[in-house]
């Protein structure tokens, strides 16, 4: 593999495809190469823009390797981000020259997207630190993984592309332990267990996810009951995979949606079945905490550069803590 910069702004990477790569899709093969260090979606964009050349000709969208080809990848510089830094207070739990971990409040969107171009975590972090990875694109600088808008807790951001790639690989190898605290409706039969059910996009509502075998991906969740209340269980939940809405979808599928979750039955839908003696308790609980009771409580991983173990924890936010105090007073 060789690398040069004969075009000024573009970086050109040249690869000789080994014989044993025959039969593999070009974009998948390139995506595994550390020196290229590109996401598969960006590789596909380069192919679409005729910037991936195989034996002197632009590669097709579904190009399958034969083995022995010479591939040139012309990588343009990342576009300048048009995200505006905003002076928004941040609760930074850990930071060094390579990464930072922020305790995101509920109600804050992780990165700019349709309808949310300001006030996001990324806007705030860019005011604090302009040097962030571009591996996920200029609209998601630094973002290694994300949290839903109304989920609070710890989130990692990378300061350069190499660190970003290393952290993503750790997530894929399940070497970053992400632990949540969740209050779920009803009671789990077992004090601990696993949920191994594939998650994919709902065909009924494209904004939601669901347990399905259709165009789905593996999703594995471990849980442990740490307290039981009259109507609810408090769980410690460990994500083995990181699918969109995974915790919310898994527990909703089991008939135990996350308390307060408006999208997966944790507000009115589940509470319609509550016996009249407990309806006031449920009503007051929902008034105390109108969002989903889900908090990314702990992160544990080996630092990709220093190789030192990192263990970070954060307290429950006031609304979640206040809800638990109320449930304790109401009795079990």
Residues carrying an active site annotation = 148
65 contacts 26 by C-beta, under 8 angstroms: yes
Chain-centre distance for alpha carbon 275: 37
Instruction: Report d(CA 209, CA 219) in Å as an integer.
Output: 12
Residues 6+ apart with CB under 8 A from 120: 108, 109, 110, 111, 112
User: Angle, to 10 degrees, between the axis of helix 318-330 and the axis of helix 279-288?
Assistant: 160
Q: Which two tokens stand for residue 323?
A: 């809800």
Q: What is the 3-state secondary structure (H, E, C) of 168-228?
A: HHHHHCCCCEEEEEEEEECCCCCCEEEEECCEEECCCCCCCEEECCCCEECCEEEEEEEEE
CA-nearest of 15, 126, 33, 155 to 71 is 15
How far is residue 262's CA from residue 60's CA, in Å, rounded to a whole number?
43
Structure tokens that stand for 84 in this block? 């505006």
DSSP class of 249: H
């Amino acid at each position: 593999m060789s690398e040069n910069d004969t075009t000024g702004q573009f970086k050109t990477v040249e690869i000789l495809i080994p014989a044993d790569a025959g039969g593999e899709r070009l974009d998948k093969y390139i995506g595994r190469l550390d020196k290229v260090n590109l996401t598969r979606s960006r590789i596909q964009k380069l192919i679409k823009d005729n910037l991936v050349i195989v034996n002197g000709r632009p590669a097709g969208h579904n190009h399958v390797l034969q083995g022995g080809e010479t591939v040139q990848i012309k990588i343009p510089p990342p576009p300048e981000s048009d995200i505006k830094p905003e002076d928004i207070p941040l609760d930074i739990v850990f930071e060094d020259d390579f990464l930072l971990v922020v305790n995101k409040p509920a109600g804050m969107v992780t990165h700019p997207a349709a309808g949310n171009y300001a006030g996001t975590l990324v806007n705030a972090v860019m005011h604090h630190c302009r040097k962030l990875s571009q591996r996920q694109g200029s609209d998601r600088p630094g973002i290694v993984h994300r949290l839903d808008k109304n989920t609070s807790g710890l989130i990692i951001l990378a300061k350069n592309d190499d660190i970003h790639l290393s952290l993503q690989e750790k997530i894929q190898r399940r070497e970053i332990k992400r632990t949540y605290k969740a209050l779920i409706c009803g009671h789990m039969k077992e004090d601990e267990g696993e949920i191994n059910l594939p998650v994919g996009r709902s065909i009924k509502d494209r904004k939601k996810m669901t347990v399905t075998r259709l165009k789905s991906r593996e999703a594995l969740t471990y849980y442990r009951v740490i307290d039981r209340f009259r109507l609810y269980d408090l769980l410690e939940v460990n994500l083995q995979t990181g699918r969109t809405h995974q915790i919310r979808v898994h527990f909703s599928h089991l008939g135990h949606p996350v308390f307060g979750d408006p999208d997966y039955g944790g507000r009115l839908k589940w509470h319609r079945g509550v016996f009249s003696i407990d309806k006031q308790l449920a009503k007051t609980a929902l008034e105390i905490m109108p969002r989903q009771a889900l908090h990314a409580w702990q992160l544990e991983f080996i630092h990709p550069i220093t190789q030192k173990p990192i263990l970070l924890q954060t307290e429950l936010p006031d609304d979640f803590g206040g809800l638990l105090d109320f449930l304790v007073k109401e009795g079990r």
